[in-house]
A and B are shown apart, each in its own frame.
Chain A
Amino acid sequence: GEDVEQSLFLSVREGDSSVINCTYTDSSSTYLYWYKQEPGAGLQLLTYIFSNMDMKQDQRLTVLLNKKDKHLSLRIADTQTGDSAIYFCAERTGYSTLTFGKGTMLLVSP
């Protein structure tokens, strides 16, 4: 079956790097996504990676994909208090259909 798992909580200090991890089960997934959700808001796309890539970098964000282990990570460099939010990993399991994890709450303290 399809399942995406994430650790539920991560706490870091401002200026540190944050690493959020995710595992997925569908080996046929073509794209994997990271979304951010702030309180009371919808989901904001942060970045995505195609399954034939190992890494993608976009400003402070670095996505690493280990397809063999079905492991995806999101690294946020120089984490700021404004990065505090819930981060969702998602895999594409149908034509533009996504299966989401339960989300990782990132808390950044000053």
Chain B
Amino acid sequence: DAGVTQSPTHLIKTRGQQVTLRCSPKSGHDTVSWYQQALGQGPQFIFQYYEEEERQRGNFPDRFSGHQFPNYSSELNVNALLLGDSALYLCASSLVTGDSGANVLTFGAGSRLTVL
């Protein structure tokens, strides 16, 4: 059973560019969340998608946007990249009714973005 898969694993961009990161959730999961993990920090919540809509959003600017497709996969887009956007971007999936309410998140290995 495949877990959460993310692509690309590593990428390098320059300031002002745009980036798209992709995520396929664990089989059977219907909810996708994105987290940003800066070096030496814990993951910070960006947003969550369910039924192809953004259900919840963290404290991130509008430069960060996303999308969920009918097959539950998701994309994270970041426009006008800043040096401070350099981080590991983690995708996590869950089942809205899963785990008796615990809604356990299954994380992918992440996409490491470096902005020069």
A residues engaging B (CB < 8 A)? Answer: 4, 30-31, 33, 35, 40-45, 48, 50, 88, 90, 92, 94-103
Contacts and interface: CB of A to CB of B under 8 A. Distances in A.
Contacts of A35: 107
B42 A4 contact: yes
Interface in B10-44: 31, 33, 40-44
A42 B90 contact: yes
Interface residues of B, number: 27
A88 B42 contact: yes
Interface in B84-102: 90, 92, 94, 96, 101-102
Contacts of B96: 96
A31 B102 CA distance: 7
Contacts of B80: none
Nearest to A35: B107
Contacts of A100: 42-44
Q: Which of A90, A97, A102 has the most CB atoms of chain B within a 10 A radius of its CB? A: A97
Given A31-B102, A48-B102, A101-B42, A96 B110 contact: no
A42 B91 CA distance: 9
